[in-house]
Chain A
Amino acid sequence: MIRLIRFELIKLIYRPRIYLCLGLMVVLVALIFWGLKTEGDNAVSYVVKSLEKNFVINGQVVNGYFVTFIILNTLWIHLPVLIVIITGDLFSSELESGTIRLVLARPVGRSQMALSKFIAALFFVLIFILSWALVSLWPALILFGKGDLLVFFNGVQILEEKDLWWRFISAFGFAFLGMASFAIFSVTLSFFIRKSLVTILISIGVLVISTLLQTLSTSLFTGWQSFLITYHLTQWQLFFYTDIDWSAIFGSVIWLVSFSGICIVAALVRFNRMRITE
């Protein structure tokens, strides 16, 4: 099993598209930096002005923490797309290219091979999220400075600077869980669909439709949102409430872990029954 995981990780590291995805993520973050650096104060000024009628505001509202929060809030739908470009064809590309025969003709078990694909996907997501956290938070604090965080959820939430690090770490940790679940879903799809491009497109389609339904659910499908993966992907926001709803967070954690487990079992069953005829 260790040999197979190493095998998958080496292949992953050598794939050019992994660097393309990481590069795109950096570009997206840099664009947000640029936008907030040039127009950030203007963009939030109208909100701040209304607050200034009742409160005295010291320091920068648009500080490094605020920028990182905006990045988290903006990219939660873009990043799964980048992730799925890698994970969506981890298996199907082997089927399409025929390299699966090279692997399966050696003394390796199918379940082990499938599990090593999932572990490689998780490794990629971990690297991706760590890179994301690194290129967001660290440059943001240098470029925009420090301070308390003002967020606008059901009114204004003011979070003290000393209380922010664990919240960001938790938020990125939860983002890892959400993205990992989505990556596992896309890997599972590839066991059923066999075509890389179709797998990637369907994964993105699920993300888009789920987002749309989540938006509509407030008005049309009340109560349905907890069945949508995007609902659970966005639960990292709960870490930025002054009073954290831990039960909602744990509920989402259980949902995402269970969903991932079901996906993995489905992929294992499918793969063990699959005839490699290509």
Chain B
Amino acid sequence: MKDSPTSRYAFNPNSEVRLLSDGSGLAIYDGYSCDTHFIHSKKDQSALPALSTVPQEITPTFLVEEFGMSKLAAQHTIDLLIKQKVLGEIS
């Protein structure tokens, strides 16, 4: 993928993002396709969720740090969501 690890992405303006209260991840409603997507946190949920608000933007680093993903998985998740037009790059 062409994007560098420092690229930043935002959810498309039609979408509705929910932080699942047990820290298991994000549920995203995409108002464009009307599909539901998830970003699954790999972190142990027995620890209190680190996030308290829905993130305004997503970066590979964010997914690695907050959701315990590998760099590869983080980039893959982002690529997939870009392809589905859920995420767009912030210039």
A-B interaction: no
Q: Please report A residues at the B interface, Cβ cutoff 8 Å.
A: none
B interface, CB within 8 angstroms of A: none
